[in-house]
Structure 1
Amino acid sequence: MNWLAAIPLRLAQGPLVLVTVAGVRGSAPREAGASMLVGPDFVEDTIGGGHLEWEAIAEARARLLTAHLTPALRHFPLAASLGQCCGGVVWLAFETLLPEDLTVWQQRAASNADGIPSTRRLSGTARCCEWSGEEQPGRLQLPAAGSEHDWQMLQPVRPPTFCLSVHGAGHVGRALVQILAPLAIRLRWCDARAELLADAPAGVECVGESDPLEAVMGAPAGSSHVVLTHDHALDLALSEAILTRGDFHWFGLIGSQSKRTRFRQELARRGFTPGQIARMQTPIGIEGIRDKAPQAIAIAVAAQILQQRERALAALRDTATCPRHSG
């Protein structure tokens, strides 16, 4: 949902075009519902790259030059004509957004950030999309033969279900936030030095509490946490607060093996059980990467976080498909 968070910021500067993967048949670079923003001199997010995206950007910018306001649906076979060999078919919806639409998009971006799902309907017969407060399945109604505008797209706009709190705005924390911000994660960036959060990417929730422990208490139940502050004493205090809450999905702490030993001993002294302490993962990052540059550490940790996100989403899917039995 990086595109949704970016719309209010970009739309305040002038018109832009929202390009959405309205439908897919066969193999394609992105799934139905993926979107990107195109302006005269910028692109936010992606519909999969390659020649398909290049053609989409060119058409979007042509719409801006000609002030074309009616939504359009385009059909792209992913074959030799596009220099791509996916073999599938993609339908792209092109939608011009105007600064006069800014208030609506601000409200929708804010609702999504608050965890409220919705669905938008776009058709070839109306300039603007319509919104519903209910989440509906995505669907594309193709135009009837001989009718260019007789089509309709339903796009679910779902808030991310995986929430991660990044505690620390130092070199690694900053690099990690930059990597994760474009992904489908509810990202909370926490540091008492609020000025360090001023340039957070669009869609990132900045938590500049004067008491860093308040950032732990304010996290939704089931969240994940990664602690990488500038202060070992603060790392320990945050670790204690996270373990005390106990209702987290995953908790990682940056550090060496010696730091791990010291923290485990101190947490045991403070009354935590071996089972509780074992839930704190440190060191962090996928194995096999020895580079200690902040960006390299951030990449290794980001990969581990994505693994955790896959596990959390799989658990949600299993819960949703598990049959219920009445007592």
Structure 2
Amino acid sequence: MLYKQRTAPKQLAGLQSLARRLAPTHEKYRIIQDELYKVRAGFGGEQEYDRCMKEVHTDFPHAILHDLSLQQNGVQFQIDSLFIAPDRIIITEVKNIADKILVKANPTQFLKESQTGTRNVFRSPIAEIDRKIHFLNNWLIAKNVNLPVTGLITFAHNNEILIEEPPQIPILTNYEAPAFFRELPIETLTLSKLDVKKLAYTLLEYHEEYDPFPLAARYGIHPNELKSGVLCQECPNEPASAREGNPRSCPRCGNSSRAPYEQAIEEYFMLVGKSLTNREFCEFTGLTCRHVAKRLLSSQLLHKDGTRKATNYTLAK
């Protein structure tokens, strides 16, 4: 049974905004575009995994939670997908790589080979899963749950996968995952149907969505290097001007929006900082009238703290 669906990662929206507000000539522009491609591809692979997992129907009670983020001893760890069975928990690490995959042994090494024959090493999914198993085991012990945790690696594409020596953690394609879970040999009924449900809800209760913001500082980009203005979401190259309270039309594509400044507020917090002043809002959006800015900052998106020039705004919870 599915207890948690996947949503688009915050980082994806943030990177899209950051890419829109960077000039193509900026030294970090290509880095941001590459990062955006990786996050978008990763999310696409996870969505494909989720579609395949809809086929999982078992004779034993189970729970599925996609995109779970927990904290243990001050460390936040994210799990692509988690499967609770009566005798174990399985963490799935989903990879979206279109190239041929080679898994070499002694030491274990993952390589991707392009159609031209070029090989590149990529971070070992086994090391990633081992880290998450470690933290999840400690998290479960702290909650007095005694259940073994294992792992599974899946690839979103039907890759050609060449494995020198099978590792302890199975490696499959997304398409093969449903059969893997349906055919699990359940050795002991450590958890009843009710126990599985309770554990799933406990995990949901402690889920904390990963917050990567603000992104500009994370990538070493000064706010002054970002394009100012209220950018069209369909045609990002023209800031365009508009009077507050009226629909705003992009001069390039004609797209109109009745709440363009709310999008700009969200972008500011994704890219620049955790708090916002009237002056910073004017600089970010290109507004020239602080009184207009004050009216716009009365948005329900924001929490106001302080008065007059000392006023700061933060995102409402």
Query: Does TM, normalized by the shorter one, top 0.5?
Result: no
| RCO comparison, higher one (Cα < 8 Å, 6+) | 2
TM-score normalised per structure 2: 0.29
